[in-house]
Amino acid sequence: MEPTFHIREIPIYGDLILAPMDGYSDLPFRSLCRELGSAMSYTEFVNVDELRGKKGGSRKAKNKLRYTEAERPVSYQIYGHDIDRLIETGVRLEGQGRPDIIDINMGCYVKKISERGAGAGMIRFPERIARLISTLSNDLEIPVTAKIRIGWDEDMLNYMDTVRVLEDSGASLIAVHGRTRAQGYKGLADWDAIAEIKQAVSVPVLGNGDVTTVADIERVKAHTGVDGVMIGRGAIGNPWIFSRKDREDVSFEEKVTMMRKHLALNLDFYGERGGLILFRKHVAKYIQGSKSEPSLRIPLLTAEKVEDFVRILADHEAAMGRLDRDARDAFLAEFTDREPVVA
């Protein structure tokens, strides 16, 4: 099988990639998306200030960088406003975590991050980008990449200057969200800008923004010529999109099976209470638009205990004639007698 493209010497097999999303692109969800066809793994973004200290940072921050070997290639995504700290952290993480790639987040639009010069705030300072990327490219053995937005606002659409600085400084791939920092997730993503970037640089380009269906995948590829498509919100509740399967083409039985698997992964990664609480936002998306949503939404999203959550789901499936008594009991036993599924 021929690689779809390369990030420097790293072959990437596939053209669809799960976007790094804070609070969503954790190890459990990434693992499921990889199994279904996401071509590589980006971690959630991590503030370099949270990775400092004698113990290498907070437990929460280090947890965001955990991965399984099955996820490779793995890219650690970091952010910060202090260039020296970004450089120091990138060098340290290469040796400690053994990622395949270090990615710099230049796309986060959140005010408290971007207005300090981190995330999308960095695109206002091309000289900082040049120093950061050129130093990391020289100091690291692994590739350095970046994820950007197309500008700060409509009056500062400086994406061409940004990508030229990135390429000239040694970036091995550029992922582009086709909105400005000011837009957040409002309005339409500018696929024309992504196409312009793809034509201007020689490194691989990933297009991101407004991809929620299989048809969108093909449209953005045809429109922009990108090497790969990065999918974020469109994958929440529909990881099958990485198998080129739309939400409405996934049966409710498939969704229940996935919810059980995803919940088990969450429980092993975060613990019983944290795993359930953090799973609720995924549940809301898994059942969204289904005939079962009205009867399941409130009970599932307010369940306080794992056994209550699983019982609600099992009883619903039994009432729908999808489970007999033995299958229902096996369903429930899965979460009382289960073995850990994440090392």
Q: Where does the chain hold its CATH 3.20.20.70 domain(s)? A: 5-247
- For the segment(s) 251-333, the CATH number from 1.10.1200, 1.10.20, 1.20.1260, 1.10.8 is 1.10.1200
Distance (Å, rounded) from C-alpha 145 to C-alpha 283? 32
- 10, 36, 86, 108: the catalytic one is 108
Closest by alpha carbon to 310, among 275, 342, 269?
275
Q: What pLDDT score does 208 carry?
A: 98
Contacts for 276 with CB less than 8 Å, ≥ 6 apart:
263, 266, 267, 303, 305, 306, 309
Higher-confidence residue: 158 or 317?
158
DSSP H helix total and E strand total for the chain: 13, 11
DSSP strand pairing (5-7 vs 10-12): antiparallel
Give the tens place of pLDDT for each residue, 22-42. Answer: 999 999 999 999 999 999 999
Q: Indicate where the chain has its CATH 1.10.1200 domain(s).
A: 251-333
pLDDT tier, 328 (very low <50, low <70, confident <90, very high otherwise): confident
pLDDT digits (tens, 9 = 90+) for 285-315: 999 999 999 999 999 999 999 999 999 998 9
Name the average pLDDT for the chain: 94
pLDDT in tens, 218-242: 999 999 999 999 999 999 999 999 9
Query: Does the pLDDT of residue 343 top 50, yes or no?
Result: no
Q: Output the CATH code of domain 5-247.
A: 3.20.20.70
Q: Burial level of 20, CB count in 10 A (0-12/13-18/19+)?
A: buried
Known catalytic residue at 33: no
Residue 123 has pLDDT above 50, yes or no: yes
- In this prediction, residue 339 carries a pLDDT of 57
